Amino acid sequence: MPDVARVTARPYPFSPPDRLNLDPRYAELRRVEPLSRVRLPFGEEAWLATRHGDVRTVLGDPRFSRAASVGRDEPRLTPRQIEGGILSMDPPEHTRLRRLVAKAFTARRVEQLRPRTRQIADGLIDAMVTAGPPADLVEHFATPLPIQVICELLGVPFADRHLFHVWSEAIVSTTSLPPEQIQEYLDNLYAYIAELVQQRRREPTDDLICAMVRARDENQDRFTEQEIVQLAAGLLAAGHETTVTQLPNFAYVLLTHPEQLAWLRAEPARVPTAVEELMRYVPLGVASSFARYATEDVEVGGVLVRAGEPVIGSLSSANRDETVFAEPDRLDLGREANPHIGFGHGVHHCVGAQLARMELQVGIGALVARLPELRIAVPEPELTWKSGMIVRGLARMPVAW
């Protein structure tokens, strides 16, 4: 098989993020070079898979390993290499930790949180309506909603949000924070969670952190204290940074596709279908990372990946694969067959996917139902987008209604 592509590693991401637009190079690569060589800002060169089927292979096939990234100069967007967490593990090690928290995020458990989530969303909209337009959808709606939900689920005081929300940026930052500040924020976040863990040990409660503490204390050799703290911190940070960012992204897409939005207003029962399409359509990540290392020679996309080589699967590109999705670049909120992989694939599939879905359904549902005249309150080019992060999102979103 040809080895020629190895000499032409492209810088990746291909271009600086432009709002929610996906670089056209992905479509070209899917067509002519489904596995290509890329060089990320940090770490060793990697293969990039862009087709839906190939990305699923890289993420789902046990011949590809995350644990094998440990000790390697992993291709990445951040100066710092995250090691030791659940994302650096394969089964059965991964299973041991995943199982500890997965039960709290099943569809059934998440459904029980829906009425409370609705109540929170309605309360936030009430406050916006009372104060009158304009409001910042990021600050007044999209940020407090997921934070309140994850706080109640984990048992983290909502009153401390101004602390941990700032520290959580360290998890999604590339250049928005200086490296030493990233480390300082992470240390703060871990110390904060470690203190909560100690508190739960003294005064048990009915929340996920306490359940994690109990599981550790009942079986000391199964989990380390550091594993519990790191996992809980990860759930707190990842558990809100993503939804906080996606809610305004989804609102932005809807408000810039007025015909689609009008359809959704007329068909509010289709909000769950619309959320799946928005998950497919919005490329949340600036680029994909978390390379999987081949543990043996594997053919992917017509290329022989050698044992020990890292491969990155692009979720955003897979979600625009024209062989899987009809008219992939068109937003179709009523799209029926929608096997998107916006939450990833394989054993590392987002553990909070059902929670995120529910929050997005409730959040978008509430905006559509309660604010029929919702609109962006500034000319579109004046919107400020975040930069220096691994995710795309609006810094602020002034809206009126």
Partner 1 sequence: MSAGWRIAVDAGRCIGSGGCVGMAPAHFRLESGAATPIAATVEPTETVIDAAESCPVEAITVRDDDGDLVAPA
Please report, as ranges, the residues that interact with partner 1 according to CB under 8 A. Answer: 56, 59-60, 62, 90-92, 94-95, 98-99, 102-103, 105-108, 339, 343-347, 349-351, 353-354
Shortest distance (Å) from residue 89 CB to partner 1: 11
Provide the minimum distance between the beta carbon of 27 and partner 1 in the complex, in angstroms, as a whole number: 23
Closest approach of partner 1 to the CB of residue 6, in Å: 29
SS (H, E, C) the chain: CCCHHHHCCEECCCCCCECCECCCHHHHHHHHCCEEEEECCECCCEEEECCHHHHHHHHHCCCEECHHHCCCCCCECCCCCCCCCHHHCCCCHHHHHHHHHHHHHCHHHHHCCHHHHHHHHHHHHHHHHHHCCCEEHHHHHHCHHHHHHHHHHHCCCHHHHHHHHHHHHHHHECCCCCHHHHHHHHHHHHHHHHHHHHHHHHCCCCCHHHHHHHHHHHCCCCCCHHHHHHHHHHHHHHHHHHHHHHHHHHHHHHHCCHHHHHHHHHCHHHHHHHHHHHHHHCCCECCCCCCEEECCCEEECCEEECCCCEEEECHHHHCCCCCCCCCCCCCCCCCCCCCCCCCCCHHHCCCCHHHHHHHHHHHHHHHHHHCCCCEECCCHHHCCECCCECECCECCCEEEC
Q: Which residue, 101 or 128, has its beta carbon nearer to partner 1?
A: 101
Min dist CB 352 to partner 1, Å, is 9
Shortest distance (Å) from residue 353 CB to partner 1: 5
Q: Which is nearer to partner 1, 43 or 344 (CB)?
A: 344
Nearer CB in complex with partner 1: 59/151: 59
78 versus 243: smaller Cβ distance to partner 1:
243
Shortest distance (Å) from residue 150 CB to partner 1 = 17
The residue among 140 and 348 lying less far from partner 1, judged by its C-beta, is: 348
Supply the minimum distance, in Å, between the C-beta of residue 61 and partner 1: 8
Judged by CB, which is closer to partner 1: 25, or 94?
A: 94
Name which of 100 and 254 has its Cβ closer to partner 1: 100
For residue 397, the minimal CB distance to partner 1 (Å) is: 29
Considering the complex, state which of residue 101 and residue 390 has its C-beta at the smaller distance from partner 1. 101
